[in-house]
Structure 1
């Protein structure tokens, strides 16, 4: 089905058309009516407001926000809420994580040393900014595939090329040539899954066993990216992978550094002349930490007048160069494509995937099943750095004539609002993937996306304002019997919050959340036992100040060999390859972490201190406010009484102090299902 072109579906005629808030509802209603499945009613205002807050921004509403938006409830009021949240900068911090999962984002290289990828965080900020500014999705694609080759490259488009550098890297491979093509395979596979929803990597060693993708198709796609240099050796890391965002400033810095080296060499030559004339003890002293002191005291004694004048001139010149260099614009580098092959190597089919066994030569082209052909390759760029092949690939991927790009991103967005996609296998639209439950709906939304200048916010708005999204998650016995997996979307799915949403919600409720945006990553405090799990314990894991550790989870340093327990226990994905959808497990480790981890104990204490500031020391008022902060709604007296009884029980039965018992009350409240699950 996915290999056919998109056509504009006709809006279906349904009996209950008057219940549709958006045209997309008609496609859902049609399937439900044909199956004879009844659908649930609208969600109550409290559940819906909390749902849309968390789905759009990743943060729960405060009790005050919830009360404001649910008072005088109407569809117009809900529409205003949706529009306000879509304009909130927190949106980018929530939705960027969707894309970072897909492109295997991490800030380290994996393998034994797992060293950092310097400045990878700038790509993360680019993605956040793109979602916040509603960057057209076709431009978003072009930036990542060929941001350095587009007309008039911008800072953003150059940063976006870090897409090519996010994968794992073996810095001491047993077979360097094989490792090089493993890196290329990572690129071909990720491009195929992220943008096309196809498992192109399955055609590396032979024709795809399931989909109509040949081995020649695979290597023809690889040829479009052969100008990309691989990571290379450890010595190549800066030259290959650190891209100057402001070349003019970089050139001035390089010239200054060159002048400094020249002057130092001239000074060292004269110093050597003087040292050779010194006594043996003084010579030995110049080989240690006292070198500068000895030279300062005795250099003049061992140089003639001409040599000494030259040395002083070099000193003055060196001081001036350092002064001038300090006034230059800051040299800013980012992870990206710093070095390219202006004349890409010839690409061959590799028999059985081995670079040591070349087959026929292949030219750059697209998979035959998606139009194929021999695209016209541009003349090499005037700067001599790039042949322009990737721009051809980027234009094809972002073209309205491409059958898959719009479908794939529409499906991803739908999945993050409903817990599953219209196609349940977001990275595999091929024959082994799941067929769409609502193909006409998928194509309708894909056409709508392209016709709205590829605006993802417009797509999100359509979904959020639909009757389908606003449904209750309450079950209906007959409907659950007919469609137990909710394939027809007769109700909203009950969903557990993501790892980031759990952590960020706890921080917001405890009053500790730092909303600072953008910038280098932060490092949450990890126990010695966790740090010891690395091959080099504690290596490349810094210690951030407490206020930085309270930033949103998207700013946590992502180290491949060192998952943060608070996130990994709630199914934060492996980052070695593209993650299409996270597992959503319910397992004992989550409860143990939420109850016993040092971080949760600290947050419970912070919540207690917040309660003391806001309502004083009265236990009943503290328990009431605690429940309201966690659930967002006015606490029922019986629930408050239960928390008060818990505090008293902890004091009597467990002999806890009053402060410890109240902290226990806060910890229990933070573990309520109403906090962890989205209704």
Structure 2
């Protein structure tokens, strides 16, 4: 009975590996078991390897050792691996009790079946460049809309499942708007889409959203999680550092659809590109995003080691979905990365100028993190050009007058004022490379380790650049070159993340670990083809997102039935769409947008929304007090919010935004009372509720029914149900009665926020409808993507 239960549990967790599949696959069915239970003692790390046996390599696992072999294909009784996992002798049983690991009945059975079938081996899926796969044969040819759907339908038919019906058109436009812009559609946009009977109405909607400036903001929010972009240094005093122009570069790059390979080159090595533009120099600020310390007693050698390790972790996490941070002190326990690989990657960054920061940094906020450059926004640059043209016309006139001289003086003052408003931005500057040694056990005081040169991990061969020293530009090219580098692997990492953004889950579920401790893709052939398509389309991000969004798989409803829930609770087979709460920034942005408060301003300094008084009271070096914006900055999008690493804005924290100390490829999604309390009490949400109430009272009809229909249509793109109408009408009656009796409570509720109260609206009415607006904006449906 226990054996049957465990077998059923495994099938429950991995529905694509069904019992009907007689032939086991090493990478999908066996490697995860060996990685979890065996590699720690019999894996890549020589320092902890027992009996000189490696089970991560076929030749070693099948080698003859004095007449014994761990694995002899087809011969269970002679395979030492099988004997050791089944023996009753505790001292000989593997894995040993001291390891804290044990094999389940089902895992033992799977290993036995695999050896009996011939113990076929395969390379890790993530290390094999993607190859093109032919479209699978399916019975239902009519369902699919593009080539993606064939791979999904094949898996569904294999498991005797049917896809969900298409979502209704209202759900589709809401889904697309949230996925591609991070904002809900307006009611007028929904109506226009519903009334568009043209055959390409859906495609036109996708194109419109991809062309919106809001697209770049939405994609940038995710990218900033990956590259740990923040407004402060993180360590010690957590002072502000100057980097907002990099933020604006990323938004502009996504909006301009900069090819991802070029996007990679400009960030890793924008300063090394011949005749680098200002934007490319700003992009090189990526290398400066890490946490730094400005404490007076900082040891340069120690912190250079810390910074170098941070950069390796981030690079490998962002572009390789590899956990190379494990190699800072020793060879990787589970994947074929060595400590030498780690420091060889670090050597690519040895040319970055850190000297001024380490010797001339200070505890001011903002702190000095040279090299920095002055950057003017596009609007400031345009103003300067216009002023320069006016000045030139005045100074070239044949007749010089006192009026002309005064005008020139005034223009010069305006030019000086604009230049004074330039923002600083950290950039990369290349100097003579520092010596990089392997640090035994990561000890920065130990100089006994081998000196290494910039090099890619040995498992991928060598860079073909001749005898010269490799640069960051070579590294960037290697990451995106599908012929001489690992461009195919990088493409697969990124398209998996695009899929995650459009479904809430990647085809390979662990977005930042494509190694032995990750999970194999549910649809590996589909993932390969998407990666190849990305490369063939010249790394066109918008084209890939559109391709996925145009599939029938994407169009599906998010509703599931009992059969799919029982067989496939994680929806790995894609029998329906995903359903998940908005990211933190989108929760706030959506509320501001519906209320009418949202300010869609590109570029500029950070936004400082309302924050609890005294939240920064423990910040020192220097002590500081948070000052919230009193103008448009109060209602800008979340991507522009000041991101204090040690004291992340409470609203963002309550909705699971990361502190951005490390690469975050996938945010957690929690459901706690704190979220509800933020929605009800955060001043931003209170003010948004009041502003939404003003809209309800001024833009809709006079009756409660008309006003409630308006509120629901604006917030969730539908009219309230009869039951909802009944409940909300009761709530408005109750609120009007209470505020009529207690006008002080009404005034208190309406006192929150900077926007002045409109004239001509009864305060009792406004307070009561603010309660209604707050309730509507707090609906699960108002912050859930279906």
Q: Check 1:490–1:239 CA distance in 2 against 1; reply closer, same or farther (3 A cut).
A: closer
Counterpart of 1:367?
A: 457
SS in 1 for 2:134: coil
Counterpart of 2:56?
A: none
1:192 aligns with 2:278: no
Q: C-alpha displacement at 1:583, in angstroms?
A: 0.6
Counterpart of 1:240?
A: 370
Q: C-alpha displacement at 1:517, in angstroms?
A: 1.3
Q: Indicate if the aligned counterparts of 1:171 and 1:233 stay in contact, CA closer than 8 A.
A: no
Q: C-alpha displacement at 1:396, in angstroms?
A: 0.6
In 1: Cα distance, 2:626 partner to 2:308 partner: 29
Q: C-alpha displacement at 1:374, in angstroms?
A: 6.6
Q: C-alpha displacement at 1:531, in angstroms?
A: 3.4
What is the correspondence of 1:406-445 to structure 2 with a 5 Å cutoff?
406-445=491-530
**Match for residue 347 of structure 1 among 418, 436, 447:** 436
**Match for residue 274 of structure 2 among 151, 171, 178:** 151
In 2: Cα distance, 1:538 partner to 1:35 partner: 61
What is the correspondence of 1:315-354 to structure 2 with a 5 Å cutoff?
330=419, 334-337=424-427, 339-341=429-431, 343-354=432-443
SS in 2 for 1:404: helix
Moved over 6 A (4+): 323-329
Counterpart of 2:668?
A: 583
* Equivalences, count: 595
What is the correspondence of 1:164-203 to structure 2 with a 5 Å cutoff?
164-172=287-295, 175-203=299-327
Q: C-alpha displacement at 1:109, in angstroms?
A: 0.5
Q: Indicate if the aligned counterparts of 1:110 and 1:561 stay in contact, CA closer than 8 A.
A: yes
Q: Indicate if the aligned counterparts of 1:39 and 1:479 stay in contact, CA closer than 8 A.
A: no
In 2: Cα distance, 1:158 partner to 1:325 partner: 27
Q: C-alpha displacement at 1:479, in angstroms?
A: 1.8
In 2: Cα distance, 1:97 partner to 1:678 partner: 17
In 2: Cα distance, 1:624 partner to 1:44 partner: 19
1:399 aligns with 2:481: yes
Q: C-alpha displacement at 1:642, in angstroms?
A: 2.5
Q: Indicate if the aligned counterparts of 1:165 and 1:335 stay in contact, CA closer than 8 A.
A: no
Q: C-alpha displacement at 1:155, in angstroms?
A: 1.5
In 2: Cα distance, 1:651 partner to 1:329 partner: 51
What is the correspondence of 1:214-363 to structure 2 with a 5 Å cutoff?
214-230=338-354, 231-235=357-361, 238=368, 240-243=370-373, 330=419, 334-337=424-427, 339-341=429-431, 343-358=432-447, 359-363=449-453
Q: C-alpha displacement at 1:188, in angstroms?
A: 0.8
Q: Check 1:175–1:235 CA distance in 2 against 1; reply closer, same or farther (3 A cut).
A: closer
Q: C-alpha displacement at 1:181, in angstroms?
A: 0.6
Q: Check 1:527–1:180 CA distance in 2 against 1; reply closer, same or farther (3 A cut).
A: same
Q: Indicate if the aligned counterparts of 2:607 and 2:629 stay in contact, CA closer than 8 A.
A: yes
**Match for residue 513 of structure 1 among 598, 607, 613:** 598
1:135 aligns with 2:258: yes
Structure 1 unaligned regions, length at least 5: 247-319, 379-386
Q: Indicate if the aligned counterparts of 1:104 and 1:579 stay in contact, CA closer than 8 A.
A: yes
Q: C-alpha displacement at 1:228, in angstroms?
A: 1.0
In 1: Cα distance, 2:290 partner to 2:301 partner: 17
SS in 2 for 1:469: helix
Counterpart of 1:57?
A: 181
In 2: Cα distance, 1:633 partner to 1:656 partner: 33
Q: C-alpha displacement at 1:32, in angstroms?
A: 1.3
SS in 1 for 2:149: helix
Counterpart of 2:236?
A: 112
In 2: Cα distance, 1:224 partner to 1:124 partner: 24
Q: C-alpha displacement at 1:573, in angstroms?
A: 1.0
SS in 2 for 1:409: helix
In 2: Cα distance, 1:666 partner to 1:651 partner: 14
Counterpart of 1:260?
A: none
Counterpart of 2:245?
A: 122
Q: C-alpha displacement at 1:355, in angstroms?
A: 2.2
Q: C-alpha displacement at 1:599, in angstroms?
A: 2.5
SS in 1 for 2:450: strand
In 2: Cα distance, 1:598 partner to 1:440 partner: 49
In 2: Cα distance, 1:537 partner to 1:225 partner: 30
Counterpart of 1:95?
A: 219
Q: C-alpha displacement at 1:70, in angstroms?
A: 1.6
Q: Indicate if the aligned counterparts of 2:463 and 2:478 stay in contact, CA closer than 8 A.
A: no
Greater mean deviation of Cα atoms: 627-636 or 654-663: 654-663
Q: Check 1:553–1:327 CA distance in 2 against 1; reply closer, same or farther (3 A cut).
A: closer
Q: Indicate if the aligned counterparts of 2:369 and 2:426 stay in contact, CA closer than 8 A.
A: no
Counterpart of 1:644?
A: 729
What is the correspondence of 1:16-55 to structure 2 with a 5 Å cutoff?
16-55=140-179
In 1: Cα distance, 2:358 partner to 2:462 partner: 31
Counterpart of 1:627?
A: 712
Q: Deviations over 1:442-500 (max 9, x none)?
A: 11001000001110000000011001111001112212221111111110011111111
Structure 2 unaligned regions, length at least 5: 1-124, 377-408, 744-763
SS in 2 for 1:28: helix
Greater mean deviation of Cα atoms: 543-552 or 666-675: 543-552
Q: Check 1:628–1:36 CA distance in 2 against 1; reply closer, same or farther (3 A cut).
A: same
Q: C-alpha displacement at 1:37, in angstroms?
A: 1.9
Q: Deviations over 1:362-387 (max 9, x none)?
A: 12211011223574365xxxxxxxx7
Q: What's the TM-score once normalised by structure 1's chain length?
A: 0.83
SS in 1 for 2:178: helix
What is the correspondence of 1:562-573 to structure 2 with a 5 Å cutoff?
562-573=647-658
Q: Indicate if the aligned counterparts of 2:183 and 2:586 stay in contact, CA closer than 8 A.
A: yes
Q: Deviations over 1:21-69 (max 9, x none)?
A: 1111111111111122222111111111110111111111111211110
Q: Check 1:362–1:112 CA distance in 2 against 1; reply closer, same or farther (3 A cut).
A: closer
Q: Indicate if the aligned counterparts of 1:158 and 1:245 stay in contact, CA closer than 8 A.
A: no
1:84 aligns with 2:208: yes
Q: Check 1:346–1:510 CA distance in 2 against 1; reply closer, same or farther (3 A cut).
A: same
Q: C-alpha displacement at 1:186, in angstroms?
A: 0.6
Q: Indicate if the aligned counterparts of 2:245 and 2:375 stay in contact, CA closer than 8 A.
A: no
1:208 aligns with 2:315: no
Q: Deviations over 1:553-603 (max 9, x none)?
A: 111111112211222111111211111100111111111111122322221
Q: Deviations over 1:66-125 (max 9, x none)?
A: 11102255652111111111111110011111110000010110133211111x111111
In 1: Cα distance, 2:204 partner to 2:414 partner: 52
In 2: Cα distance, 1:501 partner to 1:328 partner: 35
Q: C-alpha displacement at 1:605, in angstroms?
A: 1.2
In 2: Cα distance, 1:460 partner to 1:55 partner: 10
Q: Indicate if the aligned counterparts of 2:609 and 2:684 stay in contact, CA closer than 8 A.
A: no
1:663 aligns with 2:770: yes
Cα RMSD over matched residues?
2.5
Greater mean deviation of Cα atoms: 109-118 or 568-577: 109-118
